[in-house]
Amino acid sequence: MTRSILVPLDGSRLAEAALPQALLLARALGASIALLHVVEKASPRRVHGDIHLRTADEAESYLASTEERLVREGATASRHVHQGPAKRVAESIASHLLEIPYDYVVLCTHGSGGPGRALMGSVGQRVLAGASVPVLMVRPSEEPLAAAARYGTIMVALETGHTDSLPVAAELARACSARLHLLVVIPTYATRRGGLRAVGRFLPGATLESLDQETEAVELYLAERRRELEAGGLTVTAQAARGDPGTVILEGARWIAPDLTVMATHGHRGLGAFWHGSVASEVCARCERPVLLVPVAGR
């Protein structure tokens, strides 16, 4: 049962772009929204073109006003200001799992360091890299708070060995009466990444045969998952595709036009591990629609 959705805010309009999606999740799951501001040590006067919240009193007033807006939209909301200037904002956000039990974090993706740096500065990157709950990444938007509606189609980019994202996506699909589209990407000979590509160069015949066998296994896997989900009353389509995983997922997002893309992330092994060579980071940086990243358990 979902208890709470955490929304860290810094006072900027860009950060507030996370609120419509947080409201959508709260409505669908019957959850409350917990607004959080962490007072930074030696914080800048302005952030993303807006006045930065620099004191606990400023933050309390701002969060109270934001809480009132959410309540007017029918949400149950609370607010919390981290007292005492913090040196590491991301770590403070993560530590609030003990103070404010939450099941999702919603963050706006923004920044000025190029596509690969498109999270909420280094703070957002570190929250994502260390999160133990699903993190919903939202693109900046000028839509008003009341614009949040529902998820009609949810695309799940699956790894056959890691199904952590599927129960989360299924829960949301049931709550929103949404259609699920399951997608598994099998790399081609030319698009295998890292060490697998090096092996393919030395054993091309064996690599091609292995990929063909993997395709058959994936199709069986998808058929089983589809039957299970349909037995639970969901509307499901499934697709096995070949190519570069990041590219195919992004193409799927454009072709299927899902309201939400759900995928697993292995980003708990540090910031560098997430941002270098990660399919999840590529999709987050380039996808125009919200992406929900579910941490793989036991990493």
What's the rounded mean pLDDT across residues 127-138?
78
Q: Which tokens go with 219? A: 């199709």
> What are the two backbone dihedrals, phi and then psi, of residue 286, each rounded to the nearest 5 degrees?
-115, -15
Residues of the chain with CATH 3.40.50.620: 4-147, 153-295
What pLDDT, on the 0 to 100 scale, is given for residue 43? 62
| pLDDT at 270 (0 to 100) | 43
Q: What is the pLDDT of residue 119?
A: 42
Percent of the chain residues topping a pLDDT of 90:
37
Select 153-295's CATH number: 3.40.50.170, 3.30.930.10, 3.40.50.620, 3.90.1720.10.
3.40.50.620
pLDDT band of residue 171 (cuts 50, 70, 90) is very high
Is pLDDT of 138 > 80?
yes
Q: Supply φ then ψ for residue 223, to 5 degrees.
A: -65, -40
Model confidence over 265-286: pLDDT tens digits? 875 444 444 444 478 878 887 8
Residue type, 79: R
Quick check: 267 and 210 in contact, CB under 8 A? Answer: no
pLDDT tens-digit map of 83-114: 755 556 666 666 665 566 789 999 887 644 44
Q: Give the residue, 91 or 231, on which the prediction is more confident.
A: 231
The span from the CA of 81 to the CA of 39, in Å, is 7
Residue type, 262: V
Which is more confident, 40 or 283?
Answer: 283
- pTM of the entire structure? 0.83
- How does DSSP classify residue 218? H
List of residues 6+ apart from 163 with CB closer than 8 A: 225
Condensed to tens digits (0 to 9), the pLDDT of residues 173-196 reads: 999 999 999 999 887 766 554 444
Fold of the CATH domain 4-147: Rossmann fold (3.40.50)
Among left, alpha and beta (phi > 0; psi -120 to 50; other), residue 180 is beta
pLDDT tops 60 at residue 123: no
Mean pLDDT throughout 69-75? 94
Separation between Cα atoms, residue 241 and residue 156, nearest integer Å? 13
Q: Number of C-alpha atoms within 13 angstroms, CB side, residue 172?
A: 29
